[in-house]
């Protein structure tokens, strides 16, 4: 599945509709993703082995980051992601505010309203598309639409 492929690379989309990918431990020492736009995402974890299964340090384009997620924009332009793997978890890594990926529990009210507005707009567009499709086939949609 796509989730397995992402996870094996060391990151995966955890929340649909979010532009963030949660970081995990890669299964490979080296991998490359050749993007459709001609850019490449390079993943390097040279110390990766059965004993070194925890991410101790991560750099994105040479800059150390404590975040436990990557953003779509970081990847789209091509990126070099280096994982420093180690035998024990670093309990300080990812512990600062802003280091965790998006979840309904860690966003402020302003961001929550923005997310809700985007979700409502997506839901509305999806319902309208389903209703037009059904009408073109001579079908009638339930009052709440297909998605609700």
Poorest-pLDDT segment among 52-56, 63-67, 113-117, 134-138: 113-117
What pLDDT, on a 0 to 100 scale, did the predictor assign at position 127?
A: 57
Of 7, 10, 4, 8, the residue nearest 59 (C-alpha): 10
- CA distances in angstroms from 93 to 24, 35, 49, 56, 58, listed in the order given: 13, 29, 20, 7, 10
Query: Once rounded to an integer, what is the mean pLDDT over residues 76-81?
Result: 95
Block residue for tokens 């512990």: 95
- Mean pLDDT to the nearest integer, 121-131: 57
Note the helical H segments in 12-108. Answer: 72-76
**Residue 58: closest CA among 86, 82, 79:** 82
Which long-range contacts does 138-147 make (Cβ < 8 Å, 24+ apart)?
Answer: 147/123
> What pLDDT was estimated at residue 105?
57
Give the pTM.
0.68
> Which secondary structure element, helix H or strand E, spans residue 116, and what is its range?
helix 109-136
Distance between CA atoms of residues 124 and 128, nearest Å: 6
Mean pLDDT of the chain: 79
Question: Are the beta carbons of 83 and 53 closer than 8 angstroms?
Answer: no
Q: Which helix (H) or strand (E) holds 83?
A: strand 79-86
Range of weakest confidence among 84-88, 93-97, 106-110, 134-138: 106-110
pLDDT value of residue 63: 96
């Amino acid at each position: 599945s796509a989730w397995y492929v992402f996870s094996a690379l060391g990151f995966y989309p955890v929340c649909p509709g979010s532009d963030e990918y949660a970081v995990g431990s890669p299964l490979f020492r080296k991998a490359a993703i050749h993007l459709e736009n001609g850019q490449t995402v390079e993943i390097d974890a040279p110390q990766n082995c059965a004993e070194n299964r925890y991410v101790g340090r991560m750099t994105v384009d040479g800059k150390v980051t404590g975040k436990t997620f990557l953003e779509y924009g970081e990847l789209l332009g091509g990126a070099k992601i280096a994982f420093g793997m180690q035998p024990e978890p670093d309990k300080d890594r990812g512990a600062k505010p802003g280091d965790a990926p998006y979840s309904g529990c860690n966003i402020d009210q302003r961001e929550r309203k923005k997310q809700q507005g985007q979700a409502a707009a997506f839901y509305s567009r999806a319902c309208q598309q389903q209703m037009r499709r059904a009408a073109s086939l001579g079908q009638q949609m339930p009052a709440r639409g297909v998605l609700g």
